[in-house]
Amino acid sequence: MSSTPVYIICSPRPQVGKTLIARLLSEFLLLKNGDVVSFDINLKEPSLLDYLPRITETADVIDTYGKMQLMDRVIVNDGIGKVIDLGYHAFDEFFKMCDEIGLMKEALRRRVAPVILFVADTDRVSARAYDTLRRLIPPNALVVVDNEFVVRGELPPVMAHSRALRFGALPVFLKTYIDRLNFSFTGYLRQEKDSSTELHQWIRRNYTTFRDLELAMLLQRS
């Protein structure tokens, strides 16, 4: 059996579009593979569970029991892609746990492929956090998410030469539209017959970005 991907979407900062990326990726994997399991580690609502309750489970890393439950569900080569929406409040504790248990080595042993998607911001907290991750995570498993709605320019120097996924900013009225709890990206693609609309093209472009990431990761593991 080939490796099972686990995408960990994270940032030490709130309101950088982390849950939006998790929604997009979860819906992409569901559309492509027919199945996905997502985990919501957040305090503030609305969160991933509110948007995608059918495929999302809540989790926490506050105590040992919560950590063990999460890892038991995630580090398993069952062929079903996993998405973790890691709240900023849990950032330090989660990666401290990953370091303590040797997550990357254990995942390799079990044929699981973690991919860390770090959602960029231009503040010092983000720069320091990313620099810390560079010492913990192999370069081929660490990806910067450049959300144009947040960064609005060049990435910070510490992230500038890393592998990056870029997501364009939507106009505010479309951002409000996709923020509705009942909105589905895949549902919109299926229902909107005009493929020239800005939102249609934005969703397709982002799905293509995830497809290209998957292919790149497969080539690295082959």
| pLDDT, tens only, 77-136 | 999 999 999 999 999 999 999 999 999 999 999 999 999 999 999 999 999 999 999 999
Number of domains into which the chain is organized: 1
CATH of the domain at 161: 3.40.50.300
Q: pLDDT grade, residue 221 (50/70/90)?
A: low
What was the pLDDT predicted at 74? 93
Q: What range defines the domain where residue 66 resides?
A: 4-221
More confident residue, 55 or 64: 55
What was the pLDDT predicted at 222? 58
Contact yes or no for 132/160 (Cβ under 8 A): no
Contact yes or no for 38/83 (Cβ under 8 A): yes
Mean pLDDT of 18-29: 97
What was the pLDDT predicted at 2? 82
Alpha carbon separation from 44 to 23, 47, 89, 93, 191 (Å, rounded): 16, 7, 10, 17, 31
| pLDDT, tens only, 177-188 | 999 999 999 999
| pLDDT, tens only, 29-56 | 999 999 999 999 998 777 999 999 999 9
Residues with Cβ < 8 Å from 199, sequence gap 6 or more?
A: 170, 174, 177, 178, 188, 192
Share of the chain above pLDDT 90, in %: 86
Mean pLDDT of 204-220: 92
